[in-house]
Structure 1
């Protein structure tokens, strides 16, 4: 049984995975790490195995193909549930999410079911992005926020901590997104389910090594899903009380 585990999907992250694993284990020594590798051709999975061989709190889940971020996370969440983890964390493998900020997310989880590491609340920041990408990401979050009727500022961010029982309840309903829309959908479902969702500020840094998996097609797919969810949820939102509770923000 484990207390806290970070689930970290990888695909061609050989240049980053060892450094980020070391930083995580130093920042939160009792936290376990599950690397979910989608058969990376650059040897990420083999390197992950070597890291796990010398650290009993690092584990590797090998998948036979790359079929979406959401699928990788679902596989990792299932592994964490099977092994009795109490707290499950999402974190990118490219260094954009700082392991040193994980203790802050875990502390906020004491009074929440879901903690979102947010770039867009007071104290949050993005380092190394051009203005165009900054505007695209912030605009995407704003659009999803309005379309889905949820109060969180950072709807698309992927640095999150969940109580295991809350995550299990969210995943028990049918999921239709397999790619980056998975992040938006999971947050939307959390809000609709009445879970306590808190945002804490984080510093998000552009990757220094390797190639980003983000593309215009991925962004378009996510926005089309958000539009679909927003339209189908209009009747439900009209039935709600006119008073919508605000999200909690934890400031640095």
Structure 2
């Protein structure tokens, strides 16, 4: 495997897909143009629309593109965890998350990687100065902002865009998070990794990005994804506070 070694080491961008036949070729091409030194892993959940086959064709033509075929739709978190393990097993030093639908601009990836030189986890944030969303309906903005505020207050963490899915991790950060016991699936997965990174003392940095609503294909947002966050976040908050109280008692 011929990897391009940059200042941070070897970089892998993980792109989970499910029925993204209209988007996968474009997003991979944009990543390869914006950051030619990085590799791409398409983690496809057995898409019935042929996304996996398109990804295979791209990989056959470009040795920097790899494809993971999974048995079926198991959720965003499971796809990323599988991708993280694949990347670590194959010797990558930095692992990035990116949506397949173009909402995460590949042209902003170098900004995240530059910030990672002084951090352990970099989050592309919509809700800090300089960040923004394009073509989002008002209710989606309210849901996203509200979800981040809800998690931030209940968990007592400073990150403004805690549900953001455009991220760059150092390999050591992911290993230190205890990935094997992560059970969250949807966007709650992002909250889980953020709180774990902060609790472990890793340096988490937000950089502003522009989030663009998808033009092709269907959104994967569902009520189940929202419901998972509603019950998991307070449970984590209670558990974390209990642990802190126990530590304080013993100190």
Q: Against the structure 1 CA distance between its residues 91 and 174, is the aligned structure 2 distance closer, same or farther, given a 3 Å change threshold?
A: same
After superposition, residues 119-158 of structure 1 pair within 5 angstroms as 119-158=126-165
165, 168, 185: which one aligns with 1:161: 168
The answer as to 2:82 corresponding to 1:75 is yes
CA distance in 2 between partners of 1:236 and 1:85 (Å): 33
How many Å apart are 1:238 and its aligned residue? Answer: 4.4
Point out where structure 1 has 5 or more consecutive residues left out of the alignment. 242-252
CA distance in 2 between partners of 1:153 and 1:109 (Å): 18
68, 71, 75: which one aligns with 1:64: 71
CA distance in 2 between partners of 1:91 and 1:202 (Å): 12
The answer as to 2:217 corresponding to 1:217 is no
Contact 2:81 2:179 survives alignment (8 Å): no
171, 178, 185: which one aligns with 2:192: 185
**Paired residues, number:** 241
Q: Against the structure 1 CA distance between its residues 94 and 240, is the aligned structure 2 distance closer, same or farther, given a 3 Å change threshold?
A: farther
103, 106, 116: which one aligns with 2:113: 106
CA distance in 1 between partners of 2:247 and 2:162 (Å): 21
Summarize deviations over 1:4-61 as a string: whole Å, max 9, x none.
Answer: 0101100000000000101000000001000000000000000000000000100000
Summarize deviations over 1:146-197 as a string: whole Å, max 9, x none.
Answer: 1111100000000000001111111345212133211110011000000010
Aligned twin of 1:244: none
37, 52, 55: which one aligns with 1:48: 55
39, 44, 52: which one aligns with 1:37: 44
User: Scaled by the length of structure 2, what TM-score is found?
Assistant: 0.93
CA distance in 1 between partners of 2:55 and 2:89 (Å): 21
Query: In angstroms, what is the RMSD of aligned CA positions?
Result: 1.4
How many Å apart are 1:230 and its aligned residue? Answer: 1.1
4, 16, 21: which one aligns with 2:28: 21
Contact 2:129 2:208 survives alignment (8 Å): yes
How many Å apart are 1:73 and its aligned residue? Answer: 0.6
How many Å apart are 1:236 and its aligned residue? Answer: 2.9
Q: Against the structure 1 CA distance between its residues 219 and 194, is the aligned structure 2 distance closer, same or farther, given a 3 Å change threshold?
A: same
CA distance in 2 between partners of 1:154 and 1:136 (Å): 12
Contact 2:76 2:186 survives alignment (8 Å): yes
